[in-house]
Amino acid sequence: MPNLTDNPPANVALELTHLKAAVDLAIPIKKVSKNLLIATWNLRAFSSLTRKWTATSTDSPKRDLRGLRAICEIISRFDVSHTSTRLLGQG
C-alpha cells in the first residue's frame, strides 16, 4: 500500500511539478518580516482517503494520495492555515 511520503508515479510527479509552477505564479513568496500569508479551507470528510495514487471511478472516497499531495503543496506556501469543517447552514 503506497504512502504519502513515497515517490509518486511519473504521471503524478509531472502533475505536481505543473501545480508547483502554477502556485508559484498565484501565491506570493513568503518574506519574513514583510508579509503574512494566510489560507483558509472549508473541508468535509477530510480524514477519508483511498490509499492509492489515483482513485478509480469505483473507489470511495475519491480523495487519493495524488490529491492529498496537491493539497499539501498548496498549504505549504502559507504561514498560517485554518481549516473549517462546518457545512453551510450548520453551526
Q: Do 66 and 15 contact (CB within 8 A), yes or no? A: yes
Q: Give the DSSP letter of residue 7.
A: P
Full-model pTM: 0.80
Q: What is the pLDDT of residues 30-75, one digit of tens each?
A: 888 899 998 887 766 667 889 999 999 999 988 899 999 998 899 8
> Is the omega angle on the peptide bond into residue 61 within 30 degrees of 0, that is, cis?
yes
